[in-house]
A and B are shown apart, each in its own frame.
Chain A
Amino acid sequence: MARHIVARTSDIPPGGNKVFGVEGRDIVVFHVNGEFFALLNRCPHEGAPLEKAACVARLTSPEPGVYQRSRVGELLRCPWHGWEFDMRNGQSYFDPKRVKVRSYPVAIENGEALQKGPYVAETFPVLVEDSYVIIET
């Protein structure tokens, strides 16, 4: 599994996202509630760019007229047709068996550890006080 150091954690503001070209693919990394999630930047339906998706909550309804929100900001709503996906694993809610966005493991490591290890970031100056976002593909 290749590891790609793509950004400082501070490069992606809370609630925001950033797209990285990794091995010829566009991967979008979201920063939500202190966590980072990485997905292929294409909706599996018609290819819409997920970086433009709305980050919404999981909305459930036990009965008509009663709505419950959970996991605020962790659900992606495709910018075109509104298909919804779980940011954590790319799974769709309307058709989970057949439709899924490719997702990637994300690790956060601090600069000191990176400096010592084999994965020195060549394109980013390594500052020991920073943490880095690493995508595994």
Chain B
Amino acid sequence: MSDVIDRPILAEEEAARSRLRIIDCDVHPSIHAHSDLDQFLPKRWQQHLRTYGSHLRTPYIGTTPYPRSSPLIARRDAWPPTGGPPGSDLDFMRKQHLDPLDVEYGILQVLDLFIFSQQNLEFGAAIQRAINDWQLAFWSDRDPRLKASILAGQDDTQFAIAEIERCAKIGRYVQINVCPRANEPLGRRRYWPIYARAQELGLPLGIHVGGYGGHAPTGGGWPSYYVEEHQSNAHTMAAQLTSLVLEGVPERFPDLKIVFIEGGFGWIPSATWRMDRHFEAFRSEVPHLKRRPSEYVKEHFWFTTQPIDEPDEAKHLRSLIEWVGADRLLFSSDYPHWDFDDPRFAFKTPLSETERRKIFNGNARALYKL
């Protein structure tokens, strides 16, 4: 049986990819086995992990609150031939993803151990710290294309700041990731010390969808189906964008850059139109805002493209890209997950050469200083 990684590349694919190298802003590496973290995790927390496992609001250990569309939400062709979960084998990731798609850089986004859902904040901090070290040792050190993010759960701000300082000294991380479903909306002042530090360090703040911090994924409660939950990622992102803007984070931290990851981008125009309209009526309630909400969005926020919106008519995707702005979008594949976007085929509307350069490479290169 011929394997996907060895299948011949068609001539048109070859031509398309030779034009532009890809910066993929959402690549998921997985931990092959929990014991891989032992070297980075104090004995006390190794024992905790073995004895109590990972906190999660599910009936069975190792499950998720909703049955997923495919095991480990992965592409069926992404299971490494050497065993282990999808995303856990660097050589296979190179052969299947980084090399054939000519990925110049991949920004790592770790989701293992429901990293931002831990309610034992001390355990959560220990896991985050271990995974931050593991990202370098197992990935970035072995392949310089792969760039790590500092995972820093914000609900214990002190732990988060300490971890940010520790990793910033190492100097090899390109982003600070916080949780999109923390205990309070992201705009709240309790989280501002993290934003202040991110601004000083010049590191973008990354917010990747997911996690179960205890809030229902929708404003209306817990959904019944995975398809409903998946849809709710966009609501979560819209709520957090609103909170950050209206509570004044970009106003207070004018140099802070914020990246919304894996939330798609179809919801952005209506969210910003609505905020602008309401701002006109209610600006006296938020006198700390000096400008229209959409202006903050246009200057301080970036959005990764996956899962890409696929309206029935290509011209609507075209309009969407123009409304959001090609300078706000960062290509992401979400490899190796089931809703992976292939950079060659994901955009069902033609992009100009300038747009392609920005979305697939230039925006991310400037933002992450690559």
Residues of A at the B interface (CB closer than 8 Å) are: 16-19, 21, 24, 26, 41, 45-49, 51-54, 79-82
Contacts and interface: CB of A to CB of B under 8 A. Distances in A.
A26 B7 contact: yes
For the residues of B in contact with A, the DSSP-based class is: loop
Contacts of A41: 7
B18 interface: no
Contacts of A16: 1
Contacts of A46: 340-342, 344-346
A33 to B, nearest CB: 20
Determine the interface band of chain B, counting residues with CB < 8 A from chain A.
Answer: 10 to 19
Contacts of A49: 4, 7, 77
> 10 closest Cβ contacts across the A-B interface?
A79-B76, A52-B77, A49-B4, A19-B2, A46-B345, A46-B342, A79-B77, A52-B76, A47-B345, A80-B75
Residue of A17, A21, A48, A80 contacting most chain B CB atoms (<10 Å) = A80
6 contacts: A19-B1, A21-B8, A46-B342, A52-B77, A53-B76, A80-B340
B231 interface: no
Interface string B1-30: 110100110000100000000000000000
Given A26-B7, A53-B76, A81 B1 contact: no
Given A45-B345, A46-B341, A46-B346, A18 B76 contact: no
Nearest to A77: B76
For the residues of A in contact with B, the DSSP-based class is: loop
Given A41-B7, A46-B345, A82 B69 contact: yes
A52 B339 contact: no
Contacts of B4: 49, 51-52
Given A19-B1, A26-B2, A45-B345, A82 B338 contact: yes
Contacts, number: 54
Contact of A47 (B8, B339, B344): B344
B70 interface: yes
B5 to A, nearest CB: 9
A79 B7 contact: no
A80 B1 contact: no
Nearest to A79: B76
Interface string B54-90: 0000000000000001100001110000000000000
A51 B340 CA distance: 17
A67 to B, nearest CB: 14
A80 B70 CA distance: 9
B10 to A, nearest CB: 8
B76 A54 contact: yes
Contacts of B69: 82
A53 B4 CA distance: 12
Residue of A19, A53, A79 contacting most chain B CB atoms (<10 Å) = A79
A123 to B, nearest CB: 16
Given A18-B1, A21-B2, A81-B340, 17 more contacts: A24-B8, A26-B7, A41-B7, A46-B344, A46-B345, A49-B7, A51-B1, A52-B77, A79-B75, A80-B76, A80-B77, A80-B338, A80-B340, A81-B338, A81-B339, A82-B70, A82-B338
A113 to B, nearest CB: 28
